[in-house]
Amino acid sequence: MSTAGVPAPLDLRAFACPMTWVKTRIALERLAEGDVLEVLLAAGEPAESVPRSAAEDGHRVVAVEPLRTGDGFRLVLAKRGRGGEAWR
């Protein structure tokens, strides 16, 4: 499996809300429809709020899982469909 063209994870573990969602939303805006974004978040409010905000904005939450290092969570999002259609 090739990883060419796959962006590095967006590491936001050092940031608090609402900056975690602001930075995630900006990164999503730069992607094409259906592209995937991987975000690393600190435990607590960021790991709870960012997936919820992304889903409310119409993006698909593919995965939320704890990091093996124990210092946060890995969030995988797929950008919403064409014309702002939410994933169903």
Please report, rounded to a whole number, the percentage of residues in the chain having pLDDT higher than 90.
Answer: 82
The number of domains in the chain is 1
Q: Confirm whether 4 is domain-assigned.
A: no
**Cα separation, 18 vs 34, whole angstroms:** 24
Q: Could you tell me the pLDDT band of residue 3, with boundaries at 50, 70 and 90?
A: very low
State the residue range of the domain holding 17: 10-81
Q: Confirm whether 3 is domain-assigned.
A: no
**Cα separation, 13 vs 32, whole angstroms:** 25
The CATH code of the domain that includes 70 is 3.30.110.40
Q: Can you give the pLDDT at residue 1?
A: 36
Distances in Å between the Cα of 67 and the Cα atoms of 35, 37, 53, 71, 75 are: 22, 16, 21, 6, 10
Q: Confirm whether 58 is domain-assigned.
A: yes
Q: Could you tell me the pLDDT band of residue 8, with boundaries at 50, 70 and 90?
A: confident
DSSP β-bridge partners for residue 66? 73
- Tell me how crowded residue 4 is: count the other CB atoms within 10 A of its CB: 4
